[in-house]
Amino acid sequence: MSLLPILRYPDPRLHKVAKPVAAVDARIRTLVDDMLDTMYEADGVGLAATQVDVHECVIVIDTSDTRDRPRVLINPVLLETSDEMVLGDEGCLSVPTIYDKVPRHARISVRALGRDGLVQAFDAEGLEAVCVQHEMDHLLGKVFVEYLSALKRDRIKTKMLKKAREEQELHANAARRL
């Protein structure tokens, strides 16, 4: 079990495009397990490998209330998307404290490999459908704030940079035992 550091917006590495996983081997299974630990520890409903600076197509999600239904999506593909859209409030572990509305397909059909390397296909709706779309965007280097207006995005960028500066200051002071 190990926790991985999560990249914070506006880190340029969040905009890298992930490559398909060539083989679901021991390295990928370790990555999946570490991503699940990291997602549960951070109280997230999903996590994309991009967020932990691994640029391969790996996603973990758990939208269950009981937090005991992990889903692993390796090399995910959307087979079908509903014309009907939903506008739900989204957040992101890479953009903490920011929540805003993003349009998503209400229902999707997904195909991916599981942790066992076997093909799985499933339909999703509600939060699960939203989460899969949010995570698949991460693999394409897209963060949800990019759906917002340039004005909102710039304000978020400024707020995140200020927060990062303040946290750095705090750490520097702690190191000097101030």
- The span from the CA of 112 to the CA of 114, in Å, is 6
Does 136 interact with ligand GNR (rule: CB under 6 A)?
Answer: no
Binding to ligand GNR, residues 47-66 (CB under 6 A): 47-48, 51
Active-site residue identified among 80, 84, 135, 169: 135
**Residue of 36, 57, 130, 145 that binds ligand GNR (CB under 6 A):** 130
Q: Is 128 one of the binding residues for ligand GNR (CB under 6 A)?
A: no
Q: How far is the CB of 8 from ligand GNR (least distance, A)?
A: 11
Environment class of residue 85 by beta-carbon count within 10 Å: exposed (0-12), middle (13-18) or buried (19+)?
exposed
Annotated active-site residue 135? The verdict is yes
C-alpha triplet 160, 70, 136: angle, nearest 5°: 50
Among 14, 24, 36, 90, binds ligand GNR (CB under 6 A): 90
How many angstroms separate the CA atoms of 76 and 59, rounded?
8
- Interatomic CA distance for residues 47 and 163, integer angstroms: 22
Our finding on whether 44 is near ligand GNR (CB under 6 A) is yes
Question: Which residues in 1-40 contact ligand GNR (CB under 6 A)?
Answer: none
Q: Cα–Cα distance between 32 and 26 in angstroms, integer?
A: 10
Q: Which residues are catalytic?
A: 135
- Positions touching ligand GNR (CB under 6 A) are 44-48, 51, 90-94, 130-131, 134-135, 138
